[in-house]
Amino acid sequence: MKIMKNMLILAGFLLMISTSDMAQASKVLGTGTNSLLGGDLTDPEDDGKPEEDKKYNAEFTANDEPGFGGGEFSFNVFDNRLGPSNDKWCCGKGGGSKEGLHVTAEFKKQYGLTHFTVSSANDVPGRDPTEWEVQGSNDGKKFTTIFSHDGKSLWDQRLQVIRFDAGKDFKRQTTGYRFFRHVTFKTATWPNGAYFQIGEIEYFGDTSFPVDPKSKLTNTWGRIKNVR
Ligand SMILES: [Ca+2]
Ligand SMILES: [Ca+2]
Ligand SMILES: [Ca+2]
Ligand SMILES: [Ca+2]
């Protein structure tokens, strides 16, 4: 009888695990700066000084408004804050951008992406990314798609933090990358007027993935090419 009861408890427990395992696409963590996970790979200590671009563990580049200062610039997605103006990246290149709008974080080490967050900014939902990707690279030139979304905006509130996990929202990673790039190809209002915004991006990863010898080679060549 006792064994039977224990088995029932076990069965219930297993059911619970498998149900939570099935948790569907992405997870809303809340709204505002306090809902960010914090301590992501770009700034593990959460002590970055965005206005000076100091105390970060990554180098940032972008094809639109590169920089933290000067306004609603692209690196504001790494300033550890959610809010208006200087806390976000807004509002898109005039007439759109064929290659999309992208911002890249370059690290010294390779990381297998385990999870990441992307947060909406404060303005109208029509500026939220509807078609976008997170990509990885080891030379900063050839990028592989890790996560992609093409459909309705995933954010239903302003300054909303959404978390995406490997094994649920994108494939469990077996390759590490030194570069992570966020690209937006479309928003609901693209490419008219102020058509784009993102509040914050956080990347998390580990180095305990099996090393793919090919990616190692790419990394070496990437470094040689970058020295030119
Ligand atoms: Ca830091
Ligand atoms: Ca951060
Ligand atoms: Ca800022
Ligand atoms: Ca921000």
7-49: pLDDT as tens digits: 655 555 554 444 443 334 689 999 999 999 999 999 999 999 9
Q: With 50 as the cut, is the pLDDT of residue 224 above it?
A: no
Percent of the chain, pLDDT > 90? 77
CA–centroid distance, residue 131 to ligand 4 (Å): 20
Confidence of residue 220 (pLDDT cuts 50, 70, 90): very low
- Any domain includes 93: yes
Residue range(s) defining the domain that contains residue 171: 26-227
Tally of structural domains, the chain: 1
CA–centroid distance, residue 201 to ligand 2 (Å): 7
Buried b (16+ CB within 10 A) or exposed e, 52-64: ebeebebebebbb
CA–centroid distance, residue 74 to ligand 4 (Å): 9
pTM surpassing 0.75? yes
How many residues are there in the chain? 228
- Any domain includes 154: yes
Q: With 70 as the cut, is the pLDDT of residue 182 above it?
A: yes
User: What is the number of the ligand closest to the CA of 122?
Assistant: 4
User: What is the number of the ligand closest to the CA of 55?
Assistant: 1
- Any domain includes 121: yes
- Any domain includes 197: yes
CA–centroid distance, residue 123 to ligand 1 (Å): 28
Q: Which two tokens stand for residue 227?
A: 């020295």
* CA-wise closest residue to 165 among 206, 120, 210, 204: 204
Q: Which two tokens stand for residue 42?
A: 């770009």
Q: With 50 as the cut, is the pLDDT of residue 166 above it?
A: yes
CA–centroid distance, residue 202 to ligand 1 (Å): 13
Confidence of residue 5 (pLDDT cuts 50, 70, 90): low
How many other CB atoms are found less than 10 A from the CB of residue 123?
18
Q: How confident is the model over 171-185, as a mean pLDDT?
A: 96
CA 160 – CA 57 distance, rounded (Å): 25
pLDDT (tens digit per residue) in 53-98: 999 999 999 999 999 987 899 999 999 999 999 999 999 998 999 9
As a dihedral over the C-alpha atoms of residue 215, residue 219, residue 224, residue 227, rounded to 10 degrees, the angle is 150
CA–centroid distance, residue 48 to ligand 2 (Å): 8
Write down the pLDDT at residue 163: 98
Residue 64 DSSP symbol:
S
- Any domain includes 68: yes
Q: State which amino acid sits at residue 176.
A: G
Residue 158: give its domain's CATH number.
Answer: 2.60.120.260
**Beta bridge mates, 183:** 102, 133
Confidence of residue 6 (pLDDT cuts 50, 70, 90): low
* CA-wise closest residue to 86 among 120, 121, 130, 118: 121
- Any domain includes 188: yes
Confidence of residue 209 (pLDDT cuts 50, 70, 90): low
Please say whether the beta carbons of 138 and 104 come within 8 A: no
pLDDT (tens digit per residue) in 103-160: 999 999 999 999 999 999 999 999 999 999 999 999 999 999 999 999 999 999 999 9
Confidence of residue 164 (pLDDT cuts 50, 70, 90): very high
Write down the pLDDT at residue 210: 56
- Any domain includes 20: no
User: What is the number of the ligand closest to the CA of 119?
Assistant: 4
Helix (H) or strand (E) holding 29: strand 27-31
Confidence of residue 221 (pLDDT cuts 50, 70, 90): very low
- Any domain includes 6: no
CA–centroid distance, residue 208 to ligand 1 (Å): 22
Write down the pLDDT at residue 26: 87
Query: What value does the mean pLDDT of the chain take?
Result: 87
CA–centroid distance, residue 72 to ligand 4 (Å): 10
How many other CB atoms are found less than 10 A from the CB of residue 143?
20
CA–centroid distance, residue 77 to ligand 2 (Å): 8
CA–centroid distance, residue 25 to ligand 4 (Å): 23
Phi first, then psi: give them for residue 141, nearest 5 degrees. -120, -50
